[in-house]
Structure 1
Amino acid sequence: MKKRELIREASSFRDPSGFVFYSGNTIYRQVNTSYKNDYLHFKNSGLCKKLVDEKLLIPFREVSNFKSADSEAFAVLKTETIPFISYPYEWCFEQLKDAALCTLRIQRVCLEHNMSLKDASAFNIQFLAGKPIMIDILSFERYKEGLPWVAYLQFCQQFLSPLLLMAKVDSRLGMVSGIFLDGVPLDLTSRLLPKSSYLNFSTLAHIHMHAHNQKKYGKSSSSVRLKSKALTKNMFLGIIDNLENLIRNTKYSNGQTEWGEYSNMMNYTQAAFENKKKIVKSYLVRQQPKSVWDLGANTGEFSRIAAGLGIFTISFDFDHAAVNTNYLQIKKDGETNILPLLMDVANPTADLGWAHEERKSLQKRGPSDLVMALALTHHLCISRNLTFRLIASYFQKIGKSLIIEFVPKSDSKVRTLLRNRKDIFPWYNQKTFESESSKYFRILKRDPIGNNSLRIVYLMERKK
């Protein structure tokens, strides 16, 4: 195989064991010579096969004839593709909880093969076919009896802290992980948690006392090691047991969702709703997209129409309870084509991390073949003061085709939005909507929902 142009993944610079790179649309991971012995043990001990068989680790294979220009290369691995890379601050509570339990399960299996996770980053977990899976093949090292778990602090900061804050304080605090990319500081978590959390031994040990020890001994793990007893494998397993029990018993109550169940939000008849679903399905069949981004998806009612057609669908909403409910439905029904994520369309995920390149914005992870924006535009216009032109301009950047719903001012939902504010939207009408949208998209079809509803669904295709 001849040498080719390689594009290195911008976020893959922290681990000296290797890095991720791309050749065309194919994802590879280089294993550096410095990681040779750990990699060979990982591969030959049976750990690799066990994790892949249990669908805890992304499948991969060695590419023996890959010509790398990097002299540090020991091996090159070709990995299965993840259709969409998501981040922990875009996950709901139940997604983060499952990702945490997945990580602990992997650590348990590692110990059975005399290995251990050397890092427990939440960014090493992605969702594939509705379930969490580890994507970092170089996170494993040979286990050394007596030494503490080097990834323990990272696990507590990136998984346990946001989970407890979401469950015990406010679900919106999960988004704090987008500020603290290396994990929510334990001292901050300790201060934010209610005083009653001190009465739970596990929370006391893993958060409050852990934060106290950090302050006392500093962040250097070697300082703590000198003060601690040797950690036997049984003690290590005991820590994993305790963390698993704490996380499993940490519950999140949806409470009063802002948007509620989709069926309770409709202001039109069931017949109109069924017709709207038929219209959307017909547009999807016509366009035949491979990917759909459903913006303002609520609990995923229309996302499931796309997923039912075999289309990989991302179901975005900014309401945590709605996303959480959507994910639980996916688990219950074993759905594999839907990924629910937290996202405020008016404030989408931005580029974060080193040089604004480590974690990609929503736009850079696109475009999707098709974007759906149903019962959304009036909220963006009236509540967020966005014009039709601004909305169309952004949608053109993230989607090749668009299914969008226009909701007229006479609609009760628009009247509700205008009830407590001055109407400064003389341009909010169908004519302006079509005129401004046409600057960025070609209107292919328009269909009224009918059955006493004046709403109209459009199919558009972006202009080149």
Structure 2
Amino acid sequence: MPDIAVAQTSFRDPDGEVLVLDDRVLRRVRRGEDLLAFLETPSCRRMMSEGWLTSCRKVGESAPGGELLFEHNRLFFPSYPQEWPPEMLHAAGRLTLEIAAEVAHDGFRLKDATPYNVLFDGTRPVFVDWLSFERRDARDPLWPCAAQFERTFLLPMMGARSGGLSPAEVFLARRDGLEPEDVLPRLGLLARWSPLALQLVTLPAMAKSRANESTYQPKRVEDAEQAAFVFRANLKRLSWALQKLEPGARASSWAGYMQGSHAVSYSGSQFDAKVQFVEEALFDVAPRRVLDVGCNTGHFSLLAARSGAKVVAIDYDAASVGETWRAAHQGNADVLPLVVNLARPTPALGWRYGENASFLDRARGRFDLVLMLAVIHHLLITERIPLEEVLGLLAEITTDAAIVEFVGAGDPMFQKLLRGRADLHRDLTVEAFEAACAKRFRIERKAAAPDADRTLYLLRK
């Protein structure tokens, strides 16, 4: 097979790697016997039809070296566990266990169980690592990556629930998740003895010092039915733990901000006027891909999705993003909610920073409309980012339009954020804002909120 000049994004599996050529996603496979056999199984066809798996088709014949080339459909916007709220980590874990149980019927198993095997198409998790499927020894009762599933799904979720750890804090620093001894100090004395904590944290941490090499050796039994029973029981144990860790609604000052802004920063009629402005702008622009910056609980993200756009919704508050995911998931809306702070966006990660692209590298030029509603004043005041820089980044991300809300110095939220530093932004007026916008955009439409120091703009390139 000839060499292909492409970006290599995955190479940790000795059986192959993922390559990206323009908008194509290719997988070069060195040992493809298991993959070819799995593609012929009923479980594979069923899961592909249900959307559990990304598509997979062979596009290259076997070369003298035995390599094969497959192509997968490219999802609109790849995301990573360090950008997910606990709700999305839970959904990815549930999909992983469902796939592990499904493929066992056809004599296969997953050889690894990490969140990095999953991407999201809107709110729907999709398994993308086709080289994870391998034949299962019918007399082997163990799932060798059960401990990895605990480290990368269950323990981070327990850390989020009991210790205040977010997936971002875990996966930005540790690709392979948490160990039981990482979570144990974060649990209260009583919490350590709950059935779930005993199974995942307390007893494993106590036994860690007594572990030996035999603990990790494959074990075979004489009876294949007995092995299958133990294998299924192990998956059920993990499913029980995952169910116990399903995230609920979480308290957050920002998760209730939409209701608060409706009651304080906007009257009912003012908020309705804002919705009308956004709806009319969406109709005029007819965007296909929208980025909602500072989405809060997703009101305007869902509005954009209902207009027919694919939406990526970002906010730095994980509780708000989790609520956005719930609302979009329940409404079957094409919204991908991510925990991203635009002032400190997700960096590139992995070997030589080449495995996980940074958020900005993924976002630049990928959207034809960006929403920045009640966001810019936070960037200016709290993050101290100059207006020219904010508008410059906005122009890099959108290929066409932006809906921006200008919040002036007379606004109560603006005053609250200033904390007595009014002199820092004394030159920030509507006229100054419009002059800065005019360097990169034309103002196609604007509307001032009645009796409020806020103005909405539709900007076009």
CA distance in 1, matches of 2:65, 2:306: 46
Whether 2:81 is the aligned partner of 1:91: answer no
Amino acid at match of 1:262: M
Structure 2 residue 47 is matched with structure 1 residue 47: no
Amino acid at match of 2:344: N
2:191·2:197 contact (CA, 8 Å) conserved in 1? Answer: yes
Match of 2:238 in 1: 243
Counterpart mapping for 1:102-141 below 5 A: 102-141=95-134
Q: Distance in 1 between matches of 2:234 and 2:420?
A: 53
The 3-state SS of whatever aligns with 1:404 is strand
Query: 1:350 deviation in Å?
Result: 0.7
Per the TM alignment, residue 42 of structure 1 is displaced from its structure 2 partner at its CA by 1.0
Q: Which residue of 2 aligns with 1:382?
A: 381
The answer to whether residue 336 in structure 2 is matched with residue 339 in structure 1 is yes
Aligned to 2:19: 21
CA drift at 1:215: 4.4
Match of 1:76 in 2: 69
Moved more, 230-239 or 13-22: 230-239
Which residue number in structure 2 is paired with residue 294 of structure 1? 292
| 1:31-78 deviation line (CA, Å, top 9, x unaligned) | 22x2x3211331233231132133221122222xx479x754543222
Decide which moves more: 388-397 or 280-289. 280-289
Q: CA deviation at 1:295?
A: 0.4
SS at match of 1:116: strand
Match of 2:276 among 239, 254, 278: 278
Distance 1:243 1:385, change over 3 A: same
Matched letter for residue 7 of structure 1: V
Secondary structure of the structure 1 residue equivalent to 2:92: helix
Cα displacement string for residues 12-49 of structure 1 (whole angstroms, at most 9, x for unaligned residues): 110122222233322222222x2x32113312332311
* Residues 206-245 of structure 1 aligned to structure 2 (within 5 Å): 206-217=200-211, 223-226=214-217, 232-245=227-240
- C-alpha distance in 1 between matches for 2:122 and 2:410: 41
Deviation digits for residues 229-275 of structure 1 (CA, Å, limit 9, x no counterpart): 86922122112111111111224343431221513323122222222
Contact 2:445 2:458 in 1 (8 A): yes
**Partner SS, residue 175 of structure 1:** helix
**Does the residue aligned with 1:100 lie in a helix, a strand or coil?**
helix
1:57 aligns with 2:57: no
Residue aligning to 1:432: 432
Q: Identify the match of residue 351 of structure 2 among 323, 342, 354.
A: 354
Would you say how many aligned residue pairs link Structure 1 and Structure 2? 450
Contact 1:446 1:456 in 2 (8 A): no
Whole-angstrom CA distance in 1 between matches of 2:142 and 2:206: 18
- Confirm or deny: 8 A CA contact 1:162 1:184 kept in the other structure: yes
In structure 2, distance between residues paired with 1:235 and 1:252: 28
Matched with 1:453 is 452
- Residue 291 of structure 1 deviates from its aligned partner by 0.9
SS for the counterpart of 2:13 is coil
Name the amino acid aligned to 1:195: L
How far 1:113 sits from its partner (Å)? 1.3
Is the 1:316–1:341 Cα contact (8 Å) retained in structure 2? yes
Taking structure 1 as reference, are residues 296 and 84 closer, same or farther at Cα in structure 2, changes over 3 Å only? Answer: same
TM-aligned CA deviation for residue 82 of structure 1: 0.8
Partners of 1:72 and 1:119 lie apart in 2 by: 26
Equivalent position to 2:161, from 163, 167, 192? 167
Q: Does 1:327 align with 2:325?
A: yes
The TM-score with structure 2 as length reference comes to 0.90
2:174 counterpart residue number: 180
Retained in 2: the 8 A contact 1:291–1:311? yes
- 1:133-184 deviations in whole A, cap 9, x for unaligned? 1011111111122263221222111111111111122153553222111222
Q: Secondary structure at the match of 1:453?
A: coil
Distance 1:71 1:287, change over 3 A: farther
Corresponding residue SS for 1:9: strand
Between the aligned partners of 1:198 and 1:111, the Cα distance in structure 2 is 33
Stretch of structure 1 that moved more, 133-142 or 276-285: 276-285
The 8 Å contact of residues 276 and 449 in structure 1, kept in 2 or not, is answered as no
Q: Is 1:264 aligned to 2:260, yes or no?
A: yes
| Offset, 1:414 | 0.8
TM-score (norm 1): 0.89
Measured in 2, the distance between the counterparts of 1:370 and 1:72 equals: 46
2:150 to 150, 153, 156: 156
1:291·1:369 contact (CA, 8 Å) conserved in 2? yes
Q: Is the 8 A contact 1:444 1:461 kept in 2?
A: yes
Match of 2:412 in 1: 412
| Shift in CA distance, 173/20, structure 1 to aligned 2, threshold 3 Å | closer
Answer yes or no: is the 8 Å Cα contact 1:349–1:361 preserved in 2: yes
> 1:241–1:326: structure 2 CA closer, same or farther, 3 Å change rule?
same
The structure-2 alpha-carbon separation of the partners of 1:340 and 1:233, relative to structure 1 and needing over 3 Å to count, comes to: same
Measured against aligned partners, the alpha-carbon deviations of 1:84-135 in whole angstroms (never above 9, x if no partner) come to 1011121111111111111011111121111110011101111124211101
Secondary structure, aligned partner of 1:232: helix
Is the Cα contact below 8 Å between 1:162 and 1:174 reproduced in 2?
no
Aligned Cα RMSD in Å? Answer: 2.5
Distance 1:345 1:215, change over 3 A: farther
Given that residues 166 and 174 in structure 1 are in contact (C-alpha distance below 8 angstroms), is that contact kept between their aligned partners in structure 2?
no
CA contact (8 A) 2:8 2:18 kept: yes
Asked whether the 8 Å contact 1:94–1:324 carries over to 2, the reply is yes
Aligned counterparts of 1:17 and 1:125: Cα–Cα separation in 2: 19
2:158 counterpart SS class: helix
Q: Is the 8 A contact 2:141 2:231 kept in 1?
A: no
Aligned-residue offset at 1:434: 2.4
Q: Secondary structure at the match of 1:195?
A: coil
> 2 CA distance for matches of 1:317 and 1:256?
15
State the alpha-carbon separation in 2 of the partners of residues 202 and 54 from structure 1. Answer: 32
